[in-house]
């Protein structure tokens, strides 16, 4: 009973010192519950069957991510417990001096962990329950769900899962605390806080050399993910990441030895106020936390990139649906299949059916387009064996091949008659074009391919196609597309005069249309009726479909999946980074209490002490964040190149949202750390 009373008394007495620990545990529990309760929160939503499948996939993936998150939080809780033990070394030493056994001290820590864990679980679950209601509204908004039947739901499954995971973490902490106390010696407990960490002045010349080496390595890594992006292949894709990690460590190592030397050389700055004390404290921390600062910097970098990229992807997908899927349905059919052995792999029935276009294939199944479509266009795509991507690049082919190694230069080019493209453009509300008999042009919306094609177009490369030699009308690609999509997937369609093409080289027939239905419910009904006929005979007719409804649901599903995983990992990484820094600072403040007492004795007032403390903590928090932000500039350039198929228009709003997360969470930890540190160094009466 006595250990329990002591534990309760200790928690009440040291509540302010426990603030960071409580704050981290409560946030961890709440976030863990929120992301595992999404499945239960969507039970009352009126969504389609396909949307339910997407939500099911999303929740199962979040469940898998939760295992990884639990390891991060477990490490964080154990790290935090180290701070608490170190904070109370003298107290435990007094207990041992008074005759208390290490077993009883371990029991006190056991009771404290149990109490703290129980309180944080209860408060965290309560906070998680409140936040999960907002999360359910966010999910409903993303999936366009009917919220008329929405009710507040407490997820018992998420609650049990959270309790199990965090109970395991607390048990590990208890085991760790028992081992730590067992290893402690009385002299270390009583006088450990009087030990001063020596500021090892590293060789300045060596630090300068390492600094320049790290900058060169980092610069090369930045080059590889930006200008040299196209030269990256599967064998060296991780090379810039490894170089970035090494250079970050070397940068912190070199700066830890240079900061004190540089500031000491500026006498007026060094001896102003308490700057000499502040700089020595920072230098000491940097010397002893090079590895920790590297990890924190990289975690912050991952947080910024993951949050920004996931939010960009989600916003871009939503914006793309209206722009890139402006019609209700696209039906595409493979036509003019050559007899075997020219095109092996097709059955005789498929070859026979390939003589019919989309409209005739539908008529054979009693589907008449006039019944369902208020407007439609019937267009064709052409291929020819002798016209490939490489043929459009002309004299620049070899130089482009060296720069862009991944492109398939022998792939057949999509060719369209200018009149067919204009029919599609008119239906979509896009710009129409005209060509003279000896001209061609290219429409595309995939930026990397536009860059490649523009090189040839600016060089005025002529093409030979169907026995005609054509000259480019424009010196650049024009923005355009034909297929419905939520992504910028058109790498280039060559538009030519109608009289150039040969009908025998037609390979795809395409009907793009809008339904007569004027409500979402009716559009779904019409679509189901058409697609039933299409999908039942798909294997025989090679008739495939693409609809706006499917594109929208897939886009929302992918956007939600990426967003929630990005938020989950990003917030956990951000909390972990900030908490580690905060606990390190609080530990330093605890160790430095005697130093602040000496500063008071030599005449430093409270305002000056608080100012020096604020600057120490601010610099310590900003240092890894500043380098992480520089990394993130190049990291985001790299991610936008990878995700350019989705578009980059929404990057700035996503960066703004990420900045808000950083200010609220990282800034919140900074302020709590400052006020807790002020309380620690306060002169006791």
Going by C-beta distance under 8 Å and a sequence separation of 6 or more, which residues neighbour residue 126?
none
Whether the pLDDT of residue 574 is over 80: the answer is yes
Going by C-beta distance under 8 Å and a sequence separation of 6 or more, which residues neighbour residue 75?
576
**Burial of 427 (C-beta count, 10 Å sphere; 0-12/13-18/19+):** middle
Rounded average pLDDT over 89-102: 69
Whether the pLDDT of residue 230 is over 80: the answer is no
Judge whether 305 and 560 are in contact, CB under 8 Å: no
State residue 563's pLDDT score.
81
State residue 382's pLDDT score.
92
Going by C-beta distance under 8 Å and a sequence separation of 6 or more, which residues neighbour residue 568?
31, 35, 62, 65, 66, 69
381-421 confidence digits (pLDDT tens): 998 878 889 888 888 888 888 877 778 888 899 999 999 99
Q: Hunting for tokens 């008999």 — which residue is that?
A: 437
Judge whether 640 and 651 are in contact, CB under 8 Å: yes
Judge whether 38 and 135 are in contact, CB under 8 Å: yes
State residue 673's pLDDT score.
87
Which helix or strand (DSSP H or E) is residue 72 part of?
Answer: helix 49-87
Whether the pLDDT of residue 82 is over 50: the answer is yes
Whether the pLDDT of residue 507 is over 70: the answer is yes
- Please tell me which residue, 223 or 641, carries the higher pLDDT value: 223
Which helix or strand (DSSP H or E) is residue 588 part of?
Answer: helix 548-591
Going by C-beta distance under 8 Å and a sequence separation of 6 or more, which residues neighbour residue 335?
354, 355, 356, 357, 380, 506, 507, 508, 509
d(CA 31, CA 34): 5
Whether the pLDDT of residue 220 is over 70: the answer is yes
In the chain, % of residues over pLDDT 90:
15
State residue 682's pLDDT score.
76
Q: Is the dihedral of CA 302, 305, 308, 310 positive or negative?
A: negative
186-208 confidence digits (pLDDT tens): 555 555 555 544 545 567 778 88
State residue 339's pLDDT score.
67
State residue 147's pLDDT score.
54
Instruction: Single out the residue of 550, 546, 526, 540 nearest to residue 361, CA to CA.
Output: 540
323-341 confidence digits (pLDDT tens): 888 998 999 988 888 766 4
State residue 447's pLDDT score.
84
User: If you ran DSSP here, which 8-state letter would residue 361 be given?
Assistant: H
Judge whether 594 and 194 are in contact, CB under 8 Å: yes
437-480 confidence digits (pLDDT tens): 899 999 998 888 898 999 999 999 999 988 889 999 999 999 99
Judge whether 78 and 166 are in contact, CB under 8 Å: no
The whole model's pTM is what?
A: 0.76
Coil vs helix vs strand at 442: strand
33-45 confidence digits (pLDDT tens): 888 887 776 555 5
State residue 189's pLDDT score.
55
State residue 495's pLDDT score.
95
- Alpha-carbon distances, residue 658 vs 33, 173, 194, 308, 309 (angstroms): 22, 32, 42, 6, 10
Whether the pLDDT of residue 521 is over 50: the answer is yes
How does 118-134 read in b/e, with b if 16+ C-beta sit within 10 Å?
eebbeebbebbbebbbe
Q: Is the dihedral of CA 257, 263, 264, 265 positive or negative?
A: positive
What do you get for the CA distance between the two ends of the chain, in Å? Answer: 31
**Burial of 462 (C-beta count, 10 Å sphere; 0-12/13-18/19+):** middle
Half-sphere exposure of 43 (CA within 13 A, CB side): 11
Judge whether 177 and 109 are in contact, CB under 8 Å: yes
Q: What is the mean pLDDT of the chain?
A: 80
Whether the pLDDT of residue 548 is over 50: the answer is yes
Q: How confident is the model at residue 213 (pLDDT cuts 50, 70, 90)?
A: very high
- Please tell me which residue, 99 or 354, carries the higher pLDDT value: 354
Q: Rounded to 5 degrees, what are φ and ψ at 545?
A: -125, 160
State residue 685's pLDDT score.
44
d(CA 500, CA 603): 93
**Tokens read off for 46:** 């009126």
* Per-range mean pLDDT, top range of 99-103, 324-328, 648-652: 324-328
Judge whether 225 and 309 are in contact, CB under 8 Å: no
Going by C-beta distance under 8 Å and a sequence separation of 6 or more, which residues neighbour residue 236?
none
Whether the pLDDT of residue 578 is over 80: the answer is yes
d(CA 145, CA 161): 27
Instruction: Single out the residue of 676, 678, 657, 680 nearest to residue 574, CA to CA.
Output: 657
User: If you ran DSSP here, which 8-state letter would residue 514 be given?
Assistant: E
d(CA 180, CA 315): 49
d(CA 139, CA 119): 29
Coil vs helix vs strand at 581: helix
> What secondary structure does DSSP assign to 446-477, as a single string?
-HHHHHHHHHHHHTT--EEETTEEEEESSSSP
447 DSSP β-pair partners = none
Instruction: Single out the residue of 583, 579, 580 nearest to residue 83, CA to CA.
Output: 583
């Amino acid at each position: 009973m006595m250990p329990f009373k002591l534990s309760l008394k200790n928690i009440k007495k040291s509540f302010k010192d426990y603030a960071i620990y409580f704050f981290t545990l409560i946030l961890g529990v709440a976030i863990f519950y929120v992301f595992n309760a999404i499945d239960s929160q969507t039970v009352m939503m009126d969504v389609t069957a396909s949307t339910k499948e997407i939500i099911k996939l999303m929740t199962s993936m979040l469940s898998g991510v939760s295992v990884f998150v639990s390891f991060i939080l477990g490490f964080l809780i154990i790290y935090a417990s180290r701070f608490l033990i170190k904070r109370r070394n003298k107290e435990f030493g007094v207990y041992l001096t008074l005759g208390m056994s290490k077993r009883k001290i371990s029991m006190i820590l056991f009771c404290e962990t149990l109490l703290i864990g129980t309180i944080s679980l209860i408060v965290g679950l309560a906070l998680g329950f409140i936040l999960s209601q907002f999360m359910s509204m966010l999910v409903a908004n993303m999936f366009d769900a009917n919220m008329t039947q929405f009710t507040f739901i407490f997820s018992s499954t998420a609650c049990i899962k959270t309790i199990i995971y965090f109970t395991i973490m607390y048990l590990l902490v208890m085991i760790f605390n028992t081992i730590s106390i067992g290893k402690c010696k009385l002299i270390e407990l009583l006088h450990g806080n009087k030990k001063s960490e020596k500021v090892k002045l590293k060789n300045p010349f060596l630090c300068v050399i390492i600094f320049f080496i790290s900058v060169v390595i980092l610069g090369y890594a930045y080059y590889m993910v930006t200008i040299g992006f196209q030269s990256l292949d599967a064998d060296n894709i991780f090379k810039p990441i490894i170089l970035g990690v090494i250079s970050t460590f070397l940068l912190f190592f070199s700066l830890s030895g240079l900061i004190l030397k540089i500031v000491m050389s500026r006498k007026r700055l060094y001896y102003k106020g308490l700057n000499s004390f502040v700089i020595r404290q920072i230098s000491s921390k940097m010397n002893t936390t090079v590895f920790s600062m590297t990890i924190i910097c990289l975690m912050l970098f991952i947080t910024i990139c993951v949050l920004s990229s996931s939010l960009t992807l989600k916003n871009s997908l939503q914006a793309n649906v209206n722009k890139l899927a402006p019609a209700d349905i696209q039906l595409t059919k493979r036509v003019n299949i050559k007899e075997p052995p020219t095109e092996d792999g097709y059955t005789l029935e498929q070859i026979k059916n390939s003589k019919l276009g989309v409209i005739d294939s539908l008529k054979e199944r009693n589907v008449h387009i006039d019944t369902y479509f208020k407007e439609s266009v019937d267009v064709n795509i052409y291929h020819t064996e002798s016209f490939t991507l490489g043929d459009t690049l002309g004299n620049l082919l070899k130089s482009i091949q060296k720069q862009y190694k991944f492109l398939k230069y022998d792939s057949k080019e999509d060719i369209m008659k200018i009149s067919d493209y204009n029919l599609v453009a008119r239906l979509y509300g896009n710009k129409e074009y005209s060509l003279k008999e000896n001209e061609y042009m290219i429409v595309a919306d995939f930026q990397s391919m536009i860059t490649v094609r523009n090189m040839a177009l600016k060089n005025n490369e002529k093409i030979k196609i169907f026995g005609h030699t054509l000259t480019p009308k424009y010196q650049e690609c024009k923005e355009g597309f034909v297929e419905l999509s939520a992504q910028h997937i058109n790498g280039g369609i060559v538009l030519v005069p109608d009289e150039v093409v040969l009908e025998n080289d037609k390979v795809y027939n395409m009907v793009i249309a809008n339904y007569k239905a004027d409500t979402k419910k009716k559009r779904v009904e019409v679509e189901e009726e058409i697609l039933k006929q299409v999908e039942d005979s798909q294997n025989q007719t090679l008739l495939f479909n693409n609809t706006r409804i499917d594109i929208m649901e897939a886009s929302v599903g992918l956007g939600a999946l990426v967003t929630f995983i990005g938020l989950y990992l990003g917030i956990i990484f951000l909390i972990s980074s900030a908490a580690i820094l905060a606990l390190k600072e609080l530990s330093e403040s605890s160790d430095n209490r005697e130093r602040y007492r000496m500063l008071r004795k030599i005449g430093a007032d409270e305002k000056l002490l608080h100012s020096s403390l604020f600057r120490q903590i601010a610099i310590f928090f900003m240092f890894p964040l500043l380098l992480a932000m520089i990394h993130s500039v190049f990291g985001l350039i790299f991610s936008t190149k990878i995700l350019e198929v989705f578009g980059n228009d929404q990057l700035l709003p996503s960066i703004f949202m990420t900045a808000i997360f950083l200010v609220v969470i990282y800034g919140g930890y900074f302020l709590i750390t400052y006020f807790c540190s002020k309380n620690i160094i306060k002169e006791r009466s």
